[in-house]
Amino acid sequence: MSLRLIWLVPLALAALLAWPQESAMRMVHPDHVVVDVPADLPYPSARIELEADPVDGFNLYLATDNFTFTPEAVNREVVANEGHAHLYLNGKKAARLYSPWRHLPGTLFKEGVNRVEVVLNANDHSTWGLAGEPIADEVLIYAQVAEGNPIIYGDVSYRVSWDWGAAQPTPNATGWMLTNDLGYQIQVQSGKLVTRNLELVPCHAPSTMTPIARLLGGFAAVTAFAGHGSMLPNASRLSKSFEEDLARPTNRDIEVRRVRDPEYCQAHFLIARPSGTAPATPSLELSGTWQKADGKPTQFEIRGATAYGQLKELLGVTSGTVERQSIIGGVSVEVRRELHSMFDGVDFESMGELAQASAVARSIVGNAKLLAE
């Protein structure tokens, strides 16, 4: 870590504590309706880049894809994927951008942490959107940075863990055992689980429904579809699928991601086949025995390419309640699954293998807690 970052972090933390919490959510700009980009066109994107100006303030560059600045057409008819941008500083509109470049005088900023947001707008000032979500970018910056990039970045570290509850290791053998909610005594001897996606959802997202869910008609707003948490780029997303040995459940660190979204409130957790594999590739495998209290052990095998995911609230490690997680100082996320409830609802006598796999996946995801600090 550079010397500049070493002294910057404690100052930024102190500034954040004094930062009004109402500014932490993206401002809803009621004067500008969101208009979706036509579905047959590539959707635009926007990314803020900033550099300290040696004379005063900062120089902003708005990097865009599939978008054309048309200052000559302002206040005229809407043409897809063209227009201008609106700049907001600490929740208040500060300027229009008619080109990618803009100088921001130092007088616009307060001391300490500031929020910079840019929204893409059509010629008539309506906001370009994707599935109802504004196409925009926002960052936190530290106003006292005199050279280089003032944008505040943080690390998101992911860890997976298991809550054993009433489950117990199998004596003198690999695996574990439990009694499920239907009274089956189950012994797991082998298995694997694939986490296909894990990513954080910024607090500024206006709703808990992902864009892909909106495009599919709003069905099951908290459920993930087709392996996607969002159609938009997300730096917090795992870079690759993660596979676990279910016969030897262990707590493990997975990956660290570098991010710059200001705060996160939710996470998307998805069990599905590994990325880039054939559709029939299993996401879940389990084998072992089951028996009723008065019966003999019966072998079972569960194998399925089950895909199931949810948007989960981020809970504070200490409080256990929903908490907004700022990237300043970094965010540690633990995905705590329940081993003891994994087979809840599984009826070995009446359910087929695919139904069993689906029930297990739903139990793992549905009962998981996303703990952050």
CB atoms within 10 A of CB 96: 15
- Integer Cα distance of 273 and 304 in angstroms: 9
Residue whose entry in the numeric block shows the structure tokens 């530290």: 142
Q: Report the pLDDT value the prediction gives residue 203, as an integer from 0 to 100.
A: 83
Residues in the chain: 373
307 φ, ψ (degrees, to nearest 5): -120, 120
Query: What are the DSSP calls for 209-242, one per residue?
Result: S-HHHHHTTS-STTB-BTTBS-SS--TTS-SS-E
- Integer Cα distance of 265 and 206 in angstroms: 11
Cβ(302)–Cβ(246) under 8 Å?
Answer: no
- What pTM was estimated for this model as a whole? 0.81
- Integer Cα distance of 246 and 339 in angstroms: 10
Instruction: List the domain boundaries for the chain.
Output: 3-152, 155-372
Q: Could you tell me the sign of the dihedral formed by the alpha carbons of 155, 49, 92, 142, in that order?
A: positive
Cβ(236)–Cβ(264) under 8 Å?
Answer: yes
Residue 194's closest CA among 313, 276, 290, 288? 276
Q: Report the pLDDT value the prediction gives residue 102, as an integer from 0 to 100.
A: 98
Q: State the number of CA atoms in the 13 A half-sphere of 117 facing the CB.
A: 22
User: Which whole number is the average pLDDT over 7-18?
Assistant: 41
State the amino acid at position 197 in one-letter form. N
Q: What rounded mean pLDDT belongs to the chain?
A: 87
Three-state secondary structure readout of 13-37 = HHHHHCCCHHHHCCCCCCCCCEEEC
Residue whose entry in the numeric block shows the structure tokens 């008609």: 217
Q: Could you tell me the sign of the dihedral formed by the alpha carbons of 196, 213, 34, 123, in that order?
A: positive
Q: Report the pLDDT value the prediction gives residue 131, as an integer from 0 to 100.
A: 84
**pLDDT above 60: residue 105:** yes
Model confidence over 193-247: pLDDT tens digits? 999 999 999 986 544 334 444 333 333 333 433 334 455 679 999 999 999 999 9
Query: What are the DSSP calls for 84-122, one per residue?
Result: EEEEEETTEEEEEESSSEEEE-GGGS-SSEEEEEEEEE-
User: Which whole number is the average pLDDT over 306-322?
Assistant: 95
Give the residue, 14 or 277, on which the prediction is more confident: 277
- Integer Cα distance of 314 and 235 in angstroms: 17
- Integer Cα distance of 132 and 134 in angstroms: 7
- Integer Cα distance of 12 and 329 in angstroms: 9
Residue whose entry in the numeric block shows the structure tokens 């695996």: 175
Q: Report the pLDDT value the prediction gives residue 307, as an integer from 0 to 100.
A: 94
- Integer Cα distance of 197 and 199 in angstroms: 7
Q: Report the pLDDT value the prediction gives residue 219, as an integer from 0 to 100.
A: 34
User: Which whole number is the average pLDDT over 127-150?
Assistant: 94
User: Which whole number is the average pLDDT over 25-53?
Assistant: 83
Model confidence over 46-82: pLDDT tens digits? 999 999 999 999 999 999 999 999 999 999 999 999 9
Q: Report the pLDDT value the prediction gives residue 233, as an integer from 0 to 100.
A: 74
Strand 68-69 relative to strand 82-89: parallel, antiparallel, unpaired?
parallel
Per-residue burial over 131-141, b if 16 or more Cβ lie within 10 Å, else e, is bebbbbbbbbb
In order of 34, 98, 171, the CA distances from 147 in angstroms are 36, 26, 62
